[in-house]
Amino acid sequence: MSLIEKIAGLHDAKVFQNLHWVGSFEDYLQLVKESPKITRTAFQRVYDMVLSYGKEEYIDNKKTLVHYPFFDDLQHGRTDAIFGLDIPLMRLVNLFNSAAMRYGTEKRVLLLHGPVGSAKSTIVRLLKQGLEEYSKTPSGALYTLVWTNLEGEEDLPCPMHEEPLRLIPSEIRASAIKTMDLETDGDFSIPVEGELCPMCRFMFMKLLEKYDGHWEEVVKKHIQVKRIILSEQDRIGIGTFQPKDEKNQDSTELTGDLNYRKIAIYGSDSDPRAFNFDGEFNIANRGIIEFIEVLKLDVAFLYDLLSASQEHKIKPKKFPQTDIDEVIIGHTNEPEYKKLQSNDYMEALRDRTVKVDIPYITKLSEEIKIYQKDFSQDNVPGIHIAPHTLETAAMWAVLTRLEEPKKAQLTLLQKLKLYDGKLLTGFTEDSVKELRKESKREGMEGISPRYVQDKISNALVADHAQGCINPFVVMNELESGLKHHSLINSDEQRAQYKELLGVVRQEYEEIVKNEVQRAISADEEALENIFKNYIDNIKAYTQKEKVKNPYTGQYEEPDERLMRAIEEKIGISESGKDDFRREIMNFIAARVVEKKPPFKWDTNDRLRRALELKLFEDKKDTIRLTSLVTGVADQESQDKIDVVKARLKSQFGYCEVCATDVLNFVASIFARGDTEDEEK
């Protein structure tokens, strides 16, 4: 087999042929008969596209929400994804739905509105890319018409890739569709809107005249139907309009322009063949047009935009109004929107837009995903990102977005944790709901993910001495950037953001202290021993029996000091100890009855934590972490420290550099703690 043949084996000619389907008008009517949905409107197609990825219902704080996997990562190898915005995306998809049903939304400009860097552009980009992909699938297929057999002239494809059914004159279109006897496709009915574009209309009339009014001659002899694949690159069905400064803006960019070379050929500037119907509105027909920074649009364009949305019509220079069918979606950021709020211009637009607020993420675990996607270890070869680096940056970003809780006893950090689904004694799902409700503008202000992304990038390219960046490096970067942050307009706000970095630093201390403690006590055998010992003792205690001493074989009273030493670690009081011990024993008994796996040292979270802390306390002195601070570790201590370091590396994701750093850091915290104890 030749190499060409081998490679050819990988290339599926059938796929190509399907995507490039060409047929007669009769063939097309047959296709429509079999699957009427190929004639869907742009809104219907976009809505079906989103649903084609499925939908997942779930309960969040007692509310039923829908997640649309369409917006997830890695669909069709895309690089973008939207995290943590299920509620705004639900609103957006509902709008697509009502526009697909033609409840009126299809006559509006969809306006994504939010603070800078809240993923507005990303959402639109996903929709555009999604539509390109969808148009390649069998269920997303769509078709257009080409004028052919033109006596020596080149074939003329419809410049606006119109739906071929528009060739059926609108007076008879509805009854024509009825006589086609369509195979049913749910309760779908073919939309019968719109007239041919100026160029097609010109060709149609010309040929109709030639055949003395015989419509069938025109469509049989001169119409070819072909499948189209939507593509921004090829300017088919996907358009983007970006405002420039006023002098350079020109309505031809939206609705097309005269082609002077062709005027010479066709002899008249009113011949539609001498006009390029290639404005963004023209080429985006059947798909989506995106208006970047729509509020910066010059007033001269406003009317084009308004009639495009309201009437689905555009007005190319020198030609009659032309029907279009496309999703019009614009975005604007909050500062821009505010600036124009009292403006007349805005008034006209506001009336014809539906605004969808796209806020920042307020759920920590979702915010972290943004940075994990950008800065996954694969994306930054050669540099290690220490554990909790992205997490602490995300934590700060979310904190800057939260409104101070009205309840005095709740800190901002606790609120963040509640939003993240963590349990906090005294707070229920209802209180979380309440918190969300009292914070009206939450997520519309604060630090943008873009700022954080930039600072993490800075940290990565800066002099990261030993190939590892840690939370402190990034937090310092975040802090120093505040001085020049263009969107912070008061010193007060700057000071507040700084203060929040302090909150995050403190929380990071807690996190690593815990982690090092766990690494030190990650000695399963030792934990199991303490566990066994503890259980033997509380069993004897609750049953008023004695315990057999493993060394002497003697029966002794339960070891109260040992039990208390463990229980105190998790704040069990003297008066509460009986309950706790009984609870644990009942728990163990219940598992036997229910035939569940046996109760182990880590089965109960509270007990696990208590055991780890006890073991840590026992070991702390033998390991002498603080010797790291003084710099005089003897060989034995050093060996033990090395064991802990190895565990940090194998179980907690540290590298040599950050494991050493974090041990030193925690040692210094403990050293501080020890001296504090002495001072007391």
Ligand X SMILES: Nc1ncnc2c1ncn2[C@@H]1O[C@H](COP(=O)(O)OP(=O)(O)OP(=O)(O)O)[C@@H](O)[C@H]1O
What residue ranges bind Zn ion (CB under 5 A)?
A: 158, 162, 197, 200, 384, 386, 468, 655, 657-658
Which entry of Zn ion, ligand X, Mg ion, none binds 158, CB below 5 to 8 A by partner kind?
Zn ion
Does residue 42 belong to the site contacting ligand X (CB under 6 A)?
no
Whole-angstrom CA distances from 603 to 281, 305, 528, 560 are 62, 63, 12, 23
Q: How far is the CB of 388 from Zn ion (least distance, A)?
A: 11
Considering CB distances under 5 to 8 angstroms, the limit depending on partner class, which of ligand X, Mg ion, Zn ion, none binds residue 449?
Answer: ligand X
Q: Which is nearer to ligand X, 125 or 262 (CB)?
A: 125
- Of 1, 20, 17, the residue nearest 9 (C-alpha): 1
Shortest distance in whole angstroms from residue 39 CB to Zn ion: 15
Report the nearest approach of ligand X to the CB of residue 332 (Å): 8
Residue with tokens 């699957």: 35
Segment 105 to 134, residues that bind Mg ion, using CB under 5 A = 121
- Whether residue 410 contacts residue 419, with contact meaning beta carbons closer than 8 Å, is answered with no
- If DSSP codes are grouped into helix, strand and coil, which group holds residue 214? coil
* 452 part of the interface to ligand X, by CB under 6 A: no
Whether residue 398 contacts residue 367, with contact meaning beta carbons closer than 8 Å, is answered with: yes
Least separation in angstroms between residue 15's CB and Zn ion is: 28
Q: With contacts defined by CB under 6 A, how many residues of the chain interact with ligand X? A: 19
**Which residue in the set 164, 239, 387, 449 belongs to the binding site for ligand X (CB under 6 A)?**
449
CB-nearer residue toward ligand X: 116 or 156: 116
Q: How far is the CB of 114 from Mg ion (least distance, A)?
A: 10
Burial of 653 (0-12, 13-18, 19+ CB in 10 A): middle
- Tell me the C-alpha distance between 352 and 80, whole Å: 30
Proportion of the chain in helix, strand, coil states, percent, rounded to 5 = 55, 10, 35
Q: Which is nearer to ligand X, 369 or 569 (CB)?
A: 369
Query: Nearer to ligand X by C-beta: 330 or 558?
Result: 330
Q: Does 456 bind ligand X (CB under 6 A)?
A: no
Q: Are 294 and 109 in contact (CB under 8 A)?
A: yes
Residue with token string 């920074």: 293
> Is the Cβ of residue 9 or residue 77 nearer to ligand X in the bound state?
77
- Residue by residue, DSSP assigns 587-633 as HHHHHHHTTPPPP-TTTSHHHHHHHHHHHHHHHHHHHTTTHHHHT--
CA distances from 369 to 240, 449, 464 (A): 28, 11, 23
Minimum Å gap between C-beta 618 and Zn ion is 29
Q: Which of residues 490-509 bind ligand X (CB under 6 A)?
A: none
Q: Which amino acid is at 461?
A: V
Residue 209 structure tokens: 């005249």
Query: Interface with ligand X includes 83 (CB under 6 A)?
Result: yes
Identify any residues that bridge with 323 across adjacent strands, giving them in sequence order.
Answer: 313
Locate 653 and state its tokens: 């994701």
Find which of Mg ion, ligand X, Zn ion, none residue 286 binds, CB within 5 to 8 Å per kind. none
Measured at CB, which residue is nearest to Mg ion? Answer: 121
Does 356 interact with ligand X (rule: CB under 6 A)?
Answer: no
Interacting residue with ligand X among 65, 90, 116, 535 (CB under 6 A)? 116
**Cβ-based nearer residue to ligand X, 44 or 333:** 333
Nearer Cβ to Mg ion (92/203): 92
Residue nearer to Zn ion on the CB measure, 127 or 469: 469
527 interacts with, out of ligand X, Zn ion, Mg ion, none, CB within 5 to 8 A per kind: none
Instruction: Answer yes or no whether residue 118 interacts with ligand X by CB under 6 A.
Output: yes
Q: Nearest approach, Cβ of 363 to ligand X (angstroms)?
A: 10
User: Residue 218 carries which side chain, given as an amino acid letter?
Assistant: V
When asked if residue 117 is in the footprint of ligand X (CB under 6 A), the reply is yes
CB atoms within 10 A of CB 372: 16
Q: How far is the CB of 398 from ligand X (least distance, A)?
A: 12
Hey, what's the torsion of the CAs at 247, 251, 253, 259, to 10 degrees?
Answer: -110
Distance CA 150, CA 255 (A): 26
Residue at token pair 């800065």: 375
Residues that bind Mg ion (CB under 5 A): 121
Residues that bind ligand X (CB under 6 A): 81-85, 114, 116-122, 333, 361, 370, 449-450, 453
